Structure 1
């Protein structure tokens, strides 16, 4: 292996997990942030954990956890499209009038649920509200 390939790799073992990381080029924490970058993606995953939801149901559910600031249709559409492109959710359009579309988690999206559960467990103490001054 040449020197530049060796330099682009991370440490052999993660000091946080003790796992072998020698085959990884991009830090998993940075990748997680890039994949779920956006104000609403984590919340959308939480909503879809409860089962398939329609566009309007997802939009309304986002009011509860976002201090009652509504998400614009443009932003919700963009978030859903990016999540679908990344393989986290599926979009199923039914051949009916009026138009009916449902979104649901894929296996890849469901694999993030334990991570979300830990984030919510951390936040259940309210420390996030202290940090953000909410």
Structure 2
């Protein structure tokens, strides 16, 4: 049990970091260019870049650079990232069943 707690806590810190869930959801649909994610997500370019770098460092996201003109960069999930698919889907299922529209509106007002 002593090994489980730090691992579980690390996993929760990763997936609960603000915007990570939405970024993972985007990439679960396939490769994306930075500009596509930036226009699809309500997040600043700087913060998106920071989150992608963090996820890349953790081995969850990979950055693919294509030597074209102009250079094309796409982000995709690694096997480690793809393994989060059932987790993200279950959180989505849980939220649809248990989070009300009122709770979402209250959160928007607080932020």
TM-score (normalised: structure 2): 0.83
The 5-angstrom pairing of residues 1-134 of structure 1 reads 21-24=1-4, 26=6, 28=8, 30-62=9-41, 70-125=42-97, 127=99, 129-132=101-104, 133=106, 134=108
C-alpha deviation, 1:53, in angstroms? 0.7
C-alpha deviation, 1:22, in angstroms? 5.0
Work out which of the two has the higher radius of gyration on C-alpha atoms and give 1 or 2. 1
Of Structure 1 and Structure 2, the greater helix share is in 2
Q: How many residues align?
A: 106
Runs of 5+ consecutive residues of structure 2 not aligned to the other structure: none
Residues 97 and 32 from structure 1, CA distance in 2 versus in 1: closer, same or farther, beyond 3 angstroms? same
TM-score (normalised: structure 1): 0.70
C-alpha deviation, 1:126, in angstroms? 5.9
**C-alpha RMSD of matched pairs (Å):** 1.9
Runs of 5+ consecutive residues of structure 1 not aligned to the other structure: 1-20, 63-69
